[in-house]
Structure 1
Amino acid sequence: MTKYMQIANDIRNQIVQGSLQANEQLPFEKDLCEKYEASKMTVKKALDILVAEGLIVKRRGSGTFVKSISSTDMSKLLVSNQFRGLTALYSNRKVTSELLKFEVIASNEEIKSKLNLENEEFVYSILRVRYLDNKPFVMENTYMPISLIPGLKRQHALDSIYSYIENDLGLKVQSSHRTIRVRKASDIEQDHLNLEPNDPVAVVEQVAYLESGSAFEYSISIHRYDGFAFETVIVR
């Protein structure tokens, strides 16, 4: 992930989590350069992203301020922030991946149904363990159509797949449908997530969609019981 995206993600998360309040002034660019050990141009690109998203405003002669966001817009932001991927969501922590499998396979009936594929298509089959601060956090089994996500490499899976999709391919992730269940961890999950026999796990099955409406991801994520929290926003 590029440095300016890391900075934008960190400031965005501070706004979402309430560390930066509405109308609060951000540090000056030179101070942000020192904080993030980045050039002035890199910080400017990060701030420009947040301006375009409507999160901050630049006031000539005064500085940069958090925009006064309505409760409805903040609700939408809280939801959309969940679609940015683990690397963006935990931008202030060390996120690493162990890649257990990266293959191209023919889609079976289940994958075709979940991704709404008319014919048998080739898809990426990716199995990885994601770590937060060097501790196992989640085990992800992901399928993506090559036709929608071309050029995906092993390095992208080790870094951030969503960053590649949005920044390199210029695609926008819009929504997802999730089903959450709880069950006992399997042997392989116990091994990779450092769990004890009979420990529970949260199983999140997801189909994610691009702005075009096309399903680009079918995934099954296995979360440690002590690191999983389900958050939702209900707007009347």
Structure 2
Amino acid sequence: MQKYIYISNDIRNKIVKGVYHANDQIPFEKTLCLEYGVSKMTVKKALDILVAEGLIIKRRGAGTFVKDLSIDEIERIAVKNQFRGTTALNPDKKVRSEVLLFSVVHAPEIVAKKINLEPESFVYDIYRIRYIDEKPSVMEQMYMPIDLIPGLKKKTLENSIYEYIESELKLTIQSAHRKVSVRKATDEEATYLNLEPGDPVAVAEQVAYLDTGAAFEFSTSVHRYDEFSVELILTRD
């Protein structure tokens, strides 16, 4: 992960989690350079991302501050932050992937239906395990249209696919529809996730969308019961 992306993810997470509150001053760029061990240009690029997202503002001669965000805005950011992926949500930890399967196939019927593909369309078929600080956390089965997400390679899958989509392809991930259920782990899942036979797992089925409205992912992820949480925001019209 590029350093400026890492820094923007870290500061964004601190805002969402309330480490930095509305109107709090972000440390000066010189301090951030020392904290993250990077150049002033790298820090500037990271802060510019957060300025563009509307999370912080720069006041000439005073410094950089968290915007006075409304409750609705904080909720929107918290929800959107869930769809940045495992790497972005854990900037202070080592995240890596072990790729079990990577191939190009005709979209299975359920996949074509979920992400609105024409019959016989080709998709990536991706199966991988994600580790956080060398502890297996989640098994992911993912399908993505090759014409919408071109150029995926195994090396990309070993890191962050979402970072590749936004940084390399210059696409914007907007939202996802997710259904979560709980069941017992299969023998294979228990082995890969280092669980006891019969331990519970959380299963998240997801369709993810770009800001164009195009669905780019249908996935099923199986999470360790002690490594998974989901934030829900309920509103009443």
TM-score, normalising length: structure 2: 0.97
- 1:75 and 1:235 in contact (8 A); partners too: no
Tell me which residue corresponds to 1:226.
226
SS at match of 2:26: coil
Tell me which residue corresponds to 1:152.
152
Letter in 2 for 1:197: P
Q: Give matches, 1:95-114, under 5 Å.
A: 95-114=95-114
Tell me how far apart the structure 2 counterparts of residues 98 and 187 of structure 1 sit (CA, whole Å): 18
Query: Are 1:127 and 2:127 matched, yes or no?
Result: yes
Tell me which residue corresponds to 1:40.
40
User: What's the offset of the Cα at 1:140?
Assistant: 0.5
SS at match of 1:159: coil
Tell me how far apart the structure 1 counterparts of residues 42 and 228 of structure 2 sit (CA, whole Å): 33
User: What's the offset of the Cα at 1:230?
Assistant: 2.0
Tell me how far apart the structure 2 counterparts of residues 180 and 83 of structure 1 sit (CA, whole Å): 14
User: What's the offset of the Cα at 1:178?
Assistant: 1.0
Query: Are 1:200 and 2:208 matched, yes or no?
Result: no
Deviations 1:98-126 (A, max 9, x none): 11111111112111111111221111111
Tell me which residue corresponds to 1:28.
28
- 1:97 and 1:129 in contact (8 A); partners too: yes
Tell me how far apart the structure 2 counterparts of residues 227 and 111 of structure 1 sit (CA, whole Å): 27
- 1:33 and 1:40 in contact (8 A); partners too: yes
Query: Once the two structures are aligned, what percentage of the paired residues are identical?
Result: 60
Tell me which residue corresponds to 1:5.
5
Deviations 1:37-65 (A, max 9, x none): 11110000000000111111111111111
Detail structure 1 runs of 4+ shifted over 6 Å in the superposition: none
Tell me how far apart the structure 1 counterparts of residues 227 and 108 of structure 2 sit (CA, whole Å): 32
User: What's the offset of the Cα at 1:147?
Assistant: 0.8
- 1:139 and 1:223 in contact (8 A); partners too: yes
RMSD: 0.9
Structure 1: gaps (5+ residues): none
SS at match of 1:218: strand
Letter in 2 for 1:140: E
Deviations 1:9-64 (A, max 9, x none): 00000000000111111111111011111111000000000011111111111111
Tell me how far apart the structure 1 counterparts of residues 63 and 235 of structure 2 sit (CA, whole Å): 33
TM-score, normalising length: structure 1: 0.98
SS at match of 2:105: strand
SS at match of 2:25: coil
Tell me how far apart the structure 2 counterparts of residues 12 and 175 of structure 1 sit (CA, whole Å): 17
- 1:72 and 1:235 in contact (8 A); partners too: no
Tell me how far apart the structure 1 counterparts of residues 226 and 7 of structure 2 sit (CA, whole Å): 28
User: What's the offset of the Cα at 1:181?
Assistant: 1.1
SS at match of 1:111: helix
SS at match of 1:43: helix
User: What's the offset of the Cα at 1:6?
Assistant: 0.4
- 1:137 and 1:224 in contact (8 A); partners too: yes
Tell me which residue corresponds to 1:190.
190
Structure 2: gaps (5+ residues): none
Letter in 1 for 2:113: S
Deviations 1:170-203 (A, max 9, x none): 1111111111111110111011000111111111
Letter in 2 for 1:172: T
Tell me how far apart the structure 1 counterparts of residues 24 and 235 of structure 2 sit (CA, whole Å): 26
- 1:97 and 1:130 in contact (8 A); partners too: yes
Tell me how far apart the structure 2 counterparts of residues 213 and 53 of structure 1 sit (CA, whole Å): 19
